[in-house]
A and B are shown apart, each in its own frame.
Chain A
Amino acid sequence: MKAVGVVIAIALALALQTTLARFLVGGTVALDLVLVVVVYVALTSGPVTGMLAGSLAGIIQDALSSGVIGIGGLAKSIVGFLAGAIGQQFIVTAALPRMVMFLGATAAHAAVFMGLYVLLGLRSFPAPWAAILSQALGNAAVGMVAFAIIESVPGMVDRRRVRRRL
């Protein structure tokens, strides 16, 4: 059941990502919604699930893009695994740690992703720091919002039930 939910979440993130890209100038967006989903899954479900989710999401993302299939998958697998591992070792339920997690995950993902491309001589990324930083901030923001929304959903349902009983 959890796997189905993860797949649906990845699919929604991809759909949203591609939809947003159509409406932005230049076709780029300073957000990686798929990465946000992966980090979220990793923090909530552990390293293995995070890794598998990152692998699946990254490969699909690579397949939909014109890049080398596997580089995004490898980057997201590592990020998902590390995020899940850190989430198990440390308490990351507060807002700040979560933000740090999203920032760090984005940076790690960029490092692996861009590093592999540069290492293989396939692409160059001149002055990527601003883009990485903006994406990290955007991902963190989206992730924080996502956590807040999702975590508030069960409380809202419970409160509605109580009100109806009263």
Chain B
Amino acid sequence: MALLDIRQRTGYLFMAVIIGHIILISAQVNTDRGVPVLEAVTFGAFAEVQRGASTLIGGVRTSWDDYLALQSVRSDNEQLRREVAQLQVALQQQRALAQQSRTLVDLLQLREQVQLETVAAAVIAGSASPDFRTLTIDKGSADGLRPDMAVIAPAGVVGRIITPSARAAKVQLLIDRNAAAGAIVERSRAQGVVEGTGGDLRLNYVSGTADVRSGDVVITSGIDGIYPKGFVVGQIESVERGAGEFGTVVIRPAVDFSSIEAVLVVVSPVLSGVEEPVAIDEGAATEPATQARE
């Protein structure tokens, strides 16, 4: 029928009236969920519109982020690389600080254990020449340091003060060729003199009949008047019996001289040293000592 043709004015009017009534009815009738049909249909339809708009906006945004906005990625990347580098440096600094803290804790424990009057000092420099095994600490005569004072670390004996200035001091390491210390084998109490070779230590002047074995812990004897008695020097690495009275005993130092950061300088008389071997590090030096006591 021509009257029902939607293209005519009557058709539009008819559709408008029908839709108006449907809307009116929908506003009063509830769905199964108790929501008015008009609200449900309107919300449902608008939700689809929102979904479509969201999809459209998401697509545009994705296109923008994935393609157009990449223009600044290069500069961002460079900036991020710089930040990563800075953070890596900062991380290393933090690690260094943590390690330093651990070292200081060990040092504090050593200080409490040895019951000697000590001065804590930080290593501020190494040796100026490879022929001399020394290091410089940040404490000097102004802090009570004098020549021939023993320098110890949590792992064991480090060396002695040789040149103190007002605010710094040079320490001769025990592995220096000119360094020596009275020592005994902890297990057998065999005595000798520890001397540096520039890289490791030798236990000289040990009786050929002495009970010395590889793995024995060597500690200071205190007879030299410099190092307090009972501090770990190192561990016997090898023993070579010679034809003469003395053999060659190689000692692996208890202290890692290449990574030492903080030390204690013993400022009290050496005779008040400790009897038991002192080494805070949980390394090889302490463990053999325990085994030897057993």
Binding site for B on A (CB under 8 A): 47-48, 51-52, 55, 59, 68-71, 73-74, 77-78, 81, 84-85, 88-89, 116, 120, 122
Contacts and interface: CB of A to CB of B under 8 A. Distances in A.
Interface string B1-33: 101100000100110011011111100110000
Contact of A85 (B4, B23, B37): B4
Interface in B229-244: none
Given A47-B3, A89-B1, A70 B25 contact: yes
A50 B37 CA distance: 28
Contact of B21 (A47, A77, A122): A77
Nearest to A120: B29
A77 B28 contact: no
A116 B3 contact: no
A116 B24 CA distance: 13
A74 B29 contact: no
Given A51-B17, A77-B17, A85-B4, A70 B10 contact: no
Contacts of A120: 25, 29, 37
A70 B17 contact: no
A115 to B, nearest CB: 12
B250 to A, nearest CB: 101
A122 to B, nearest CB: 7
Given A68-B29, A85-B1, A51 B14 contact: yes
A48 B22 contact: no
Q: Sort A-B residue pairs by CB-CB distance and give the 3 closest, nearest first.
A: A70-B24, A74-B21, A70-B25
A74 B10 contact: no
18 contacts: A48-B13, A55-B17, A55-B20, A69-B25, A70-B24, A70-B25, A70-B28, A73-B24, A74-B18, A74-B25, A77-B14, A77-B21, A81-B17, A84-B3, A85-B3, A85-B4, A120-B25, A122-B29
Contacts of A122: 29
B17 to A, nearest CB: 5
Given A85-B1, A85-B4, A120-B29, A52 B17 contact: yes
A78 B18 contact: yes
A124 B20 CA distance: 24
A68 B25 contact: yes
Nearest to A80: B17
Given A51-B13, A51-B14, A81-B14, A70 B21 contact: yes
Given A85-B1, A85-B4, A120-B29, A70 B14 contact: no
Nearest to B32: A121
B22 A70 contact: yes
Q: Tell which of B4, B13, B22, B29 has the most Cβ of chain A within 10 Å.
A: B29
Contacts of B3: 47, 81, 84-85, 88
A69 to B, nearest CB: 6
Q: Tell which of B17, B23, B37 has the most Cβ of chain A within 10 Å.
A: B17
A84 B4 CA distance: 11
Contact of A47 (B10, B22, B37): B10
Given A70-B28, A85-B1, 4 more contacts: A47-B14, A55-B21, A59-B24, A71-B21
A116 B23 CA distance: 13
A120 B25 CA distance: 10
Nearest to B28: A68
Contacts of B10: 47-48
A55 B24 CA distance: 12
